[in-house]
């Protein structure tokens, strides 16, 4: 399919009614369409006035655009000036390159051109179909032998479903094409087939899939792919095994251990006295009537095919069975784990209180009241805790503190939110003075799930595979921060992951921590997450200016500063 767009620029002479400045030229656009007979399905649906027009400068920047050619024509004047030179690129397009559907037309064309000062140039661009057109034809034997039949044709960016009554062609993004054919016999049994030979859809291809069985009962299902010779003159034949036919071998599915059921995947062993490589699982949500063939990977050993089903929904009850040609196993049930998240994941909840700092008699300065912080609203909502008591009074009774008391953990403005947790290295303690500061107790700001000096971790019944969070980090003297996560069953650590870095990050950045599970047959009951701002006891300085506590400022003996926000647990 092609569309011819002609772009005509004004004549070669300078016209008095359109004077151009030195080094400029003028252009006027005209679009014409020409659809060939072989693409008649687009006739009447496309108009040149609907096409988007873009002009791109030599640096690849679109500097002139009309959403439609009609918008361009509606201007008071269709002549406009451009700087002489180039090369410029004229692009005309219609539709979405990533769309799939039975009316998902996509055309695109580009042409380079240059603009001569006080002169004109004629430019034409041919827009051809930029996606793949696909049609499916079911043969007579298929129609006679089966009550229902569908073909799902897919690329990595879209899919089309052709049922037995579908006569029209559809459109897909370009790429490797897979074909899944599902046949249902008079007895209600369903068989599925996937092509094993590669089909590649190029821009402008019209691919027809011809699907039929032979007349002999034991013949294979054949899939013939013909590509329109108007574009590419070649043909691909694909043979699919006839595992829809009855077979004496049976299928069994082993009991599914609890530890093999995760949030979005499940591990299943299937056996047969036939060829185990031909076994595959079928699943359905509990209470649903239709079985489907899920995404899975498999590994065969002896008569056992061990499969991993992926793409499941968390906290969902499923039924599963094994299929071997027309034979199916008994049905088993399982329920996927929930995709649980940590609480106060955006660190919006804080409590704060003041305490008295006694400076009298300690060299100089007036007595002050300092603010302390905790990453929870109250004891009932405490999911996170911090180690501020190492450098501030350990309680809220306002009993006073010495000259250098200062909190390591507070909050600052967050990533797309009001608050985020901030941790600092602070070189003081509850008893330090300016005289003892050269030999201080250095503390690293730390936030963790649990209670300081008490239980570590929080109840948690899910097994995430990854943790993401947003952070900023200002290291002092190449110091490093740490993010750590562990998942436990009782006292056993079944999975954990760590991230450390000493790189400075001044703007909010998202990072990921993979969780490696070394024990996979136990369910989770506890999760522990910890962030620590530093690691080097000698990496701090005198008189460091900081911002903390939502906009407060202070001058402290400190070092590295870590801010963390928007924690998310991922299940893949």
Rounded mean pLDDT, 281-304: 93
pLDDT digits (tens, 9 = 90+) for 92-148: 888 888 889 888 888 888 888 888 888 766 777 777 788 888 889 888 878 887 889
Residue 314: what pLDDT? 96
Tokens 């030195």 -> residue: 22
Answer whether 405's CB lies under 8 Å from 391's CB: yes
Residue 125: what pLDDT? 74
Residue 80: what pLDDT? 75
**Which two tokens mark 231?**
């574009």
3-state secondary structure of 144: helix
Phi, psi dihedrals of residue 70, rounded to the nearest 5°: -60, -40
Rounded mean pLDDT, 402-417: 87
pLDDT digits (tens, 9 = 90+) for 39-71: 556 666 677 788 888 888 888 888 888 888 888
pLDDT band at 2 (very low <50, low <70, confident <90, very high): very low
Cis previous bond, 259, omega within 30 = no
Pairing of strands 206-213, 132-138: parallel
**Helix or strand holding residue 70 (H, E):** helix 69-73
**Which two tokens mark 444?**
């690293």
Name the more confident of 390 and 411.
411
Answer whether 246's CB lies under 8 Å from 313's CB: no
- Which distant-in-sequence residues (6+ apart) come within 8 Å of 81 by Cβ? 20, 21, 24, 25, 26
Answer whether 403's CB lies under 8 Å from 434's CB: yes
pLDDT digits (tens, 9 = 90+) for 296-310: 999 999 999 999 999
Distance CA 309, CA 283 (A): 9
Q: Which range among 102-106, 155-159, 228-232, 303-307 has the greatest average pLDDT?
A: 303-307
Rounded mean pLDDT, 528-537: 95
pLDDT band at 440 (very low <50, low <70, confident <90, very high): low
Distance CA 375, CA 392 (A): 15
Rounded to whole angstroms, what are the CA distances from 400 to 173, 339, 426, 533? 69, 45, 19, 26
Phi, psi dihedrals of residue 76, rounded to the nearest 5°: -60, -35
Please determine, for residue 438, whether its predicted confidence score (pLDDT) is greater than 50.
no
Q: Point out the least confidently predicted range of 53-62, 271-280, 345-354, 501-510.
A: 53-62
pLDDT digits (tens, 9 = 90+) for 351-399: 999 887 765 544 455 667 788 999 999 988 899 999 998 888 777 766 6
Please determine, for residue 224, whether its predicted confidence score (pLDDT) is greater than 60.
no
Residue 113: what pLDDT? 83
Phi, psi dihedrals of residue 379, rounded to the nearest 5°: -60, -35
Please determine, for residue 275, whether its predicted confidence score (pLDDT) is greater than 70.
yes
- Which distant-in-sequence residues (6+ apart) come within 8 Å of 135 by Cβ? 168, 169, 170, 206, 207, 208, 209
């Amino acid at each position: 399919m092609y569309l011819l767009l002609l772009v005509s620029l004004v004549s070669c002479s300078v016209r008095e009614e359109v004077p151009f400045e030195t080094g400029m030229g003028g252009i006027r656009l005209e679009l014409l369409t020409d659809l060939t007979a072989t693409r008649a399905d687009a006739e009447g649906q496309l108009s040149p006035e609907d096409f988007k027009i873009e002009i791109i400068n030599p640096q690849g920047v679109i500097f002139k655009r009309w959403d439609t050619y009609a918008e361009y024509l509606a201007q008071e004047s269709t002549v406009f000036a451009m700087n002489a030179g180039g090369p410029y690129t004229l692009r005309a397009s219609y539709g979405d390159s990533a769309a799939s559907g039975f009316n998902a037309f996509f055309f695109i064309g580009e042409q380079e051109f240059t603009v001569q000062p006080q002169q004109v140039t004629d430019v034409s661009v041919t827009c051809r179909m930029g996606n793949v057109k696909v049609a499916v034809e079911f043969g007579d034997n298929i129609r006679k032998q089966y009550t229902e039949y569908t073909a799902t044709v897919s690329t990595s960016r879209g899919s089309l479903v052709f049922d037995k009554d579908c006569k029209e062609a559809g459109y897909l993004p370009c790429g490797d094409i897979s074909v899944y054919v599902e046949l249902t016999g008079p007895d209600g049994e369903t068989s599925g087939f996937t092509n094993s030979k590669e089909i590649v859809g190029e821009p402008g291809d019209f691919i027809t899939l011809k699907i039929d069985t032979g007349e002999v009962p034991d013949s294979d299902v054949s899939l013939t792919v013909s590509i329109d010779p108007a574009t590419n003159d070649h043909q691909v034949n694909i043979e699919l095994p006839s595992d829809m036919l009855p077979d004496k071998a049976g299928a069994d599915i082993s009991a599914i251990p609890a530890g093999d059921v995760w949030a979005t995947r499940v591990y299943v062993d299937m056996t047969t006295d036939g060829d185990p490589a031909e076994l595959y699982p079928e699943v359905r949500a509990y209470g649903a009537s239709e079985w489907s063939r899920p995404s899975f990977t498999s590994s065969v050993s002896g008569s056992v095919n061990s499969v991993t089903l992926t793409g499941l929904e968390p906290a969902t009850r499923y039924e599963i069975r094994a299929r071997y040609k027309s034979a199916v196993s008994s049905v088993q049930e399982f329920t996927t784990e929930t995709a649980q998240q940590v609480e106060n994941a955006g660190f919006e909840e804080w409590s704060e209180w003041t305490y008295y700092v006694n400076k009298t008699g300690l060299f100089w300065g007036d007595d002050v009241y300092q603010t302390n912080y905790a990453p929870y609203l109250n004891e009932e909502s405490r999911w996170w805790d911090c180690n501020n008591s190492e450098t501030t009074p350990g309680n809220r009774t306002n009993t006073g503190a010495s000259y250098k008391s200062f909190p390591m953990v507070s909050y600052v403005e967050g990533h797309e939110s009001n608050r985020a947790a901030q941790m600092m290295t602070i070189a003081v303690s509850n008893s330090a003075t300016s005289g003892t500061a050269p030999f201080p107790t250095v503390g690293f700001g730390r936030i963790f799930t649990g209670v300081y000096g008490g239980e570590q971790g929080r109840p948690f019944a899910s097994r995430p595979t990854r943790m993401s969070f947003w952070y900023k980090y200002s290291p002092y003297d190449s110091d490093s921060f740490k993010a750590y996560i562990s998942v436990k069953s009782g006292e056993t650590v079944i999975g954990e992951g760590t991230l450390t870095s000493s790189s400075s990050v001044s703007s909010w950045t998202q990072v990921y921590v993979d969780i490696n599970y070394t024990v996979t047959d136990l369910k989770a009951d506890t999760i522990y997450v910890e962030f620590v701002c530093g690691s080097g006891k000698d990496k701090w300085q005198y008189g460091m200016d900081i911002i903390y506590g939502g906009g407060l400022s202070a001058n402290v003996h400190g070092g590295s500063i870590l801010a963390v926000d928007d924690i998310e647990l991922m299940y893949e």
